[in-house]
A and B are shown apart, each in its own frame.
Chain A
Amino acid sequence: MLVLALDTATPAVTAGVVALADGSVPRTLARRTTVNARAHGELLTPHVREVVAEAGITLAELHAVVVGAGPGPFTGLRVGMVTAATFGHALDRPVYPVGTLDAIAVAVDGAEPLLVATDARRREVYWAAYDAAGNRVTGPHVQRPADLAERLPELAVRRAAGQGAELYADLLGLPVAQPWHPSPDALVAVAAKDLLTGADPAPLTPLYLRRPDAEVPVARKRVTRP
Chain B
Amino acid sequence: MSERIVLGIESSCDETGVGVVRLYDDGRVELLADEVASSVEQHARFGGVVPEVASRAHLEAMIPTARRALAASGLGLEDVHSVAVTAGPGLAGALLVGLASAKAYAAVLGKPLYGVNHLAGHVAADTVQHGPLPSPCLALLVSGGHTQLLLVEDLATKITEIGSTIDDAAGEAYDKVARVLNLPYPGGPPIDRLAKQGNPEAIAFPRGLTGPRDAKYDFSFSGLKTAVARWVEERERAGEPIPLADVAASFQEAVADVLTAKAVRAATELGVGTLVISGGVAANSRLSGLAGERCAEAGIELRVPRPRLCTDNGAMIAALGAHLVAADVAPSELDIAADPALPVSTVSI
Residues of A within 8 A of B (CB): 39, 41-46, 48-49, 59, 74-75, 78-79, 81-83, 85-91, 206, 208, 212-217, 220, 222-224, 226
Measured between alpha carbons, how far is A216 from B53 in the docked complex, in Å? 13
Measured between alpha carbons, how far is A49 from B66 in the docked complex, in Å? 22
Given contacts A48-B107, A78-B59, whether A90 and B50 have CB atoms under 8 Å apart is no
Given contacts A90-B108, A206-B59, A212-B50, whether A224 and B234 have CB atoms under 8 Å apart is yes
CB of B158 within 8 A of chain A? no
The chain A residue sitting closest to B336, CB to CB, is A42
Contact residue among A87, A212, A226 (Cβ-Cβ distance under 8 Å from B104): A87
17 other A-B residue contacts (CB within 8 Å) besides A90-B77, A212-B56 = A39-B337, A41-B338, A45-B335, A46-B335, A48-B107, A74-B93, A75-B92, A78-B55, A78-B96, A79-B100, A82-B59, A82-B62, A82-B104, A86-B63, A86-B100, A90-B104, A223-B229
CB of B226 within 8 A of chain A? yes
The number of residue pairs between A and B whose CB atoms lie closer than 8 Å in the complex comes to 114
Q: Which residues of B contact A216 (CB under 8 A)?
A: 45-46
Contact A223 B226 (CB under 8 A): yes
The chain B residue sitting closest to A48, CB to CB, is B107
Q: Which residues of B contact A75 (CB under 8 A)?
A: 55, 92-93, 96
The chain A residue sitting closest to B51, CB to CB, is A212
Measured between alpha carbons, how far is A120 from B62 in the docked complex, in Å? 26
Contact A45 B334 (CB under 8 A): yes
Q: Which residues of B contact A214 (CB under 8 A)?
A: 46, 50, 52-53
* Distance from A80 Cβ to chain B, minimum over Cβ atoms (Å): 8
Q: Which residues of A contact B53 (CB under 8 A)?
A: 212, 214
- Main SS at interface, chain A: helix
B71-93 residues at the A interface, CB under 8 angstroms: 77, 92-93
CB of B24 within 8 A of chain A? no
Measured between alpha carbons, how far is A44 from B52 in the docked complex, in Å? 21
Contact residue among B47, B50, B62, B92 (Cβ-Cβ distance under 8 Å from A86): B62
Measured between alpha carbons, how far is A222 from B104 in the docked complex, in Å? 48
CB of B40 within 8 A of chain A? no
Measured between alpha carbons, how far is A222 from B229 in the docked complex, in Å? 7
Given contacts A86-B105, A90-B109, whether A74 and B96 have CB atoms under 8 Å apart is no
Q: Which residues of A contact B67 (CB under 8 A)?
A: 89
Contact B230 A41 (CB under 8 A): no
B296-349 residues at the A interface, CB under 8 angstroms: 334-338
